[in-house]
């Protein structure tokens, strides 16, 4: 069976590897417009590299009139556990020799000021009653917080009342590195083809029922045929869905949110001393993906601090692509939906416009509010991050992701952006299962599936503390996260 995957980011590459490992007979080709894998949103500084498992992100535990909801946090934590199972499998199989090339143990902290201390206590109380978060610590003690996350406290006056939580076994993940290592393995060992520098312009179904994928390879038009087509093209998935003529495509359009970070190189000693990702509280009117955070990042043996993101309104599908491509995606029937979103989410749109024009000094001032005095301690540069294209479905703006699989299971795609690369193996596993339902019944596929995923049932991980602890202990050890 011929399978074509559009996009060699973490989603496309993970999809390819799971499918090919479960059925070695699949003939897989990945088509990528850039000249490398993980060159777009999955590239190391195009995202923040947080292994999102809800340890520190307040937006995963929304509060409504003093009632906190932790369901989303539990799901994301379980999804990240499944991701770690898959990455541990890659290490066990020597597909990745050294987990330290892509995953690093890092403290995950939340830091809030006086206005949100009660909220943090509420969150801590609710979360520590579940086995996922039972070792989360909370402190209001200035010196204790300073010991946990020194860079955010050293320049702060002791009069400022603050509170923080700490989970000391979170992670920083280099999604570019893990993606490239899987891609290299698939090309060398699994017979997967990757066609780089090949831009998909149009897809359509032929009368015989297969998909024809029309591309430009440089200036050369080329065409690929597929029995199954998976589109993991980030923001580029929207115009391809429209071009597919699947009726469902009419229900979707995209709302682009870009981002910038402040980035500073730091020495190893500072990295060891801080070794944390500290998340704060989003400003009023800010979208959930704008929660400010100060992250230790590791890449190619060097250490960095990353602060942001500063959201931007840039009407493009992906970093590096033009406005025209975005405008071409918009069909006449999308216009009322876009206008409706602009009207209903006016505070968000005006927030994005304001943030877009924030200059360097205003960005450094925001950093100093979060970590007083830090702007002067290091040499900061502004880096353009990746581009999220949020889903507009039937006129409603959504912040999550959506899997779409056509009725005949020949076309699958992932739209939206959150919580992103962290959950890619769990999400891609679901797409593979939906597009290749027969695989779950073949004995050889089941055996290899059980090696890849020790426990992929999210409810089981959420409800069965012993099972969860057993799985976590095995995979964290393999990945070098704890003992
Ligand atoms: C500012 C920011 C911060 C983030 N922080 C985090 C974080 O801390 N933790 C986390 O887990 N996630 C984070 N994310 C989300 C994460 O980056 C994405 O979820 C993830 O990288 C998406 O992977 P992907 O493979 O879908 O997309 P991509 O990595 O963008 O891959 C899509 C690929 O498709 C290719 N493509 C597109 N169109 C075409 C076409 N027409 N023809 C051929 N190829 C095409 C592109 O070139 C690209 O290589 C963040 C995102 C942003 C923007």
Output the pLDDT for position 47.
95
Q: How would you classify the pairing of strands 27-31 and 381-393? A: unpaired
Angle at 364 between CA 361 and CA 366, to 5 degrees: 115
Cα of 257 from ligand 1 centre, angstroms: 13
What pLDDT is recorded for position 225?
A: 97
At 37 the three-state DSSP class reads coil
Annotate 227-240 with b (16+ C-beta within 10 A) or e (fewer).
ebbbbbbbbbbbbb
Tens of pLDDT along 205-216? 999 989 999 999
CA 11 – ligand 1 centroid, Å: 8
State pLDDT tens for residues 372-403: 999 999 999 999 999 989 899 988 888 888 99
Residue 77 near residue 448, CB atoms below 8 Å: no
Q: Give the side-chain half-sphere CA count within 13 A for 201.
A: 10
pLDDT at 356: 87
At 200-248, the pLDDT tens digits run 999 999 999 899 999 999 899 999 999 999 999 999 999 999 999 999 9
Distance between CA 367 and CA 382 in Å, rounded?
A: 12
The model's confidence at residue 121, banded by pLDDT at 50, 70 and 90, is very high
Contact 213, 229 (CB under 8 A): yes
pLDDT of residue 348: 81
Q: Quick one: pLDDT at residue 320?
A: 87
* H helix or E strand, kind and range, residue 90: helix 71-92
Ligand 1: centre distance to CA 40 (Å): 6
CB 326 within 8 A of CB 387: no
CB 221 within 8 A of CB 236: no
State pLDDT tens for residues 306-317.
Answer: 999 998 888 888
Distance CA 317, CA 257 (A): 9
Evaluate whether 371 touches 152 at the Cβ level (below 8 Å): yes
User: Which atom from ligand 1 is nearest to the alpha carbon of 198?
Assistant: 43
Question: 187: phi > 0 → left, psi -120 to 50 → alpha, else beta; which?
Answer: alpha
Using left for φ > 0, alpha for ψ between -120 and 50, and beta otherwise, residue 474 falls in alpha
Q: What percent of the chain has pLDDT over 70?
A: 99
Given ligand 1 and candidates 278, 421, 431, which is best to mutate, with the most ligand atoms within 8 Å of its CB? 421
Centre of ligand 1 to C-alpha 5, Å, is: 14
* Predicted confidence band of residue 351 (pLDDT cuts 50, 70, 90): confident
Atom of ligand 1 nearest to the CA of 295: 8
Instruction: Evaluate the CA torsion angle 281, 153, 121, 75 in order and state its sign.
Output: positive
Residue 151, CB half-sphere, CA atoms under 13 Å: how many? 28
CA nearest ligand 1 atom 9, residue: 50
Distance CA 104, CA 476 (A): 11
Measured from the Cα of 12, ligand 1's closest atom is: 25
Q: What sign results for the dihedral spanned by CA atoms 381, 235, 436, 468?
A: positive
Which atom of ligand 1 lies closest to the CA of 401? Answer: 19
From atom 38 of ligand 1, which residue's Cα is the shortest distance away?
236
Please name the residue that has the structure tokens 């039937």. 394
Structure tokens at 369: 């509010």
Whose Cα sits closest to atom 27 in ligand 1?
234
Instruction: Pick from 213, 236, 286, 312 the residue to mutate for probing ligand 1's pocket: most ligand atoms within 8 Å of its CB.
Output: 236
Q: Which residues line ligand 1 (CB under 6 A)?
A: 6-12, 31-34, 38-42, 47-50, 52, 175, 199-200, 232-234, 236, 259, 309, 318, 385-388, 417, 419-422
Which of the listed residues 81, 211, 420 should we mutate to test ligand 1's pocket, taking the one with most ligand atoms within 8 A of CB? 420
7 alpha carbon – ligand 1 mean position (Å): 9
CA 159 → CA 5, 165, 394, distances in Å? 56, 19, 49
- Report how far ligand 1's centroid is from the alpha carbon of 178 (Å): 14
**Which of 152-161, 327-336, 428-437 is predicted least confidently?**
327-336
Contact 371, 387 (CB under 8 A): no
Look at residue 204 in the predicted model and tell me its pLDDT: 94
Is residue 135 predicted with pLDDT exceeding 80?
yes
Nearest residue by C-alpha to atom 41 in ligand 1: 200
For 160, list phi and psi in degrees, rounded to 5.
-75, 120
């Amino acid at each position: 069976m011929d399978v074509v995957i559009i996009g060699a980011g973490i989603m496309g590459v993970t999809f390819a590897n799971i499918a090919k490992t479960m059925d070695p007979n699949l003939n897989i080709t990945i088509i990528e417009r850039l000249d490398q894998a993980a060159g777009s949103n999955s590239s190391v500084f195009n995202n923040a590299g947080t292994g999102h498992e809800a340890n520190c992100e307040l937006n995963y535990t929304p509060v409504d009139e003093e009632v906190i909801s932790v369901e989303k946090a539990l799901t994301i934590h379980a999804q990240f556990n499944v991701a770690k199972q898959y990455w541990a499998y890659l290490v066990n199989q020597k597909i990745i020799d050294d987990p330290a090339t892509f995953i690093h143990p890092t403290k995950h902290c939340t830091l809030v000021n006086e206005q949100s201390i009660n909220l943090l206590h509420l969150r801590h109380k609710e979360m520590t009653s579940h086995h996922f978060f039972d070792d989360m610590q909370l402190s209001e003690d200035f010196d204790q917080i300073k010991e946990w996350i020194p860079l955010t406290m050293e320049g702060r006056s002791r009069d400022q009342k603050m509170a923080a939580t700490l989970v000391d076994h979170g992670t920083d993940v280099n999604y570019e590195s893990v993606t490239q290592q899987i891609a290299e393995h698939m090309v060398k060992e699994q017979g997967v083809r990757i066609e780089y520098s090949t831009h998909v312009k149009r897809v359509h179904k032929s009368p015989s029922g297969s998909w024809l994928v029309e591309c430009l390879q440089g200036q050369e038009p080329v065409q690929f045929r597929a029995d199954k087509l998976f589109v993991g093209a980030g923001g580029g998935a929207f115009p391809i869905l429209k071009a597919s003529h699947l009726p469902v495509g009419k229900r979707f359009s995209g709302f682009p949110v870009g981002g910038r970070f402040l980035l500073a190189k730091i020495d190893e000693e500072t990295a060891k001393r801080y070794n944390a990702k500290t998340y704060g509280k989003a400003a009023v009117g800010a979208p959930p993906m704008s929660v400010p955070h100060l992250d230790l990042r590791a890449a190619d043996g060097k250490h960095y601090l990353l602060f942001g993101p500063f959201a931007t309104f840039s009407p493009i599908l992906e970093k590096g692509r033009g406005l025209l491509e975005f405008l071409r995606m918009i069909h006449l029937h999308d216009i009322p939906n876009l206008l409706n979103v602009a009207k209903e989410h006016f505070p968000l749109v005006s927030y994005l416009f304001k943030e877009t024009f924030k200059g360097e000094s205003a960005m450094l001032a925001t950093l100093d509010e979060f970590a007083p005095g830090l702007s002067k301690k290091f040499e900061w540069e502004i880096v353009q991050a990746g581009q999220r294209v949020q889903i507009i479905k039937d006129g409603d703006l959504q912040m999550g992701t959506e899997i779409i699989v056509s009725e005949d299971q020949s076309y699958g795609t992932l739209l939206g952006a959150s919580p992103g690369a962290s959950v890619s193996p769990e999400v891609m596993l679901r797409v593979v299962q939906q597009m290749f339902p027969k695989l779950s019944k073949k004995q050889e596929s089941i055996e290899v599936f059980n090696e890849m995923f020790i426990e992929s049932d999210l409810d089981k991980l959420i409800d069965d503390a012993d099972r969860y602890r057993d799985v976590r202990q095995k995979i964290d050890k393999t990945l070098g996260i704890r003992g």
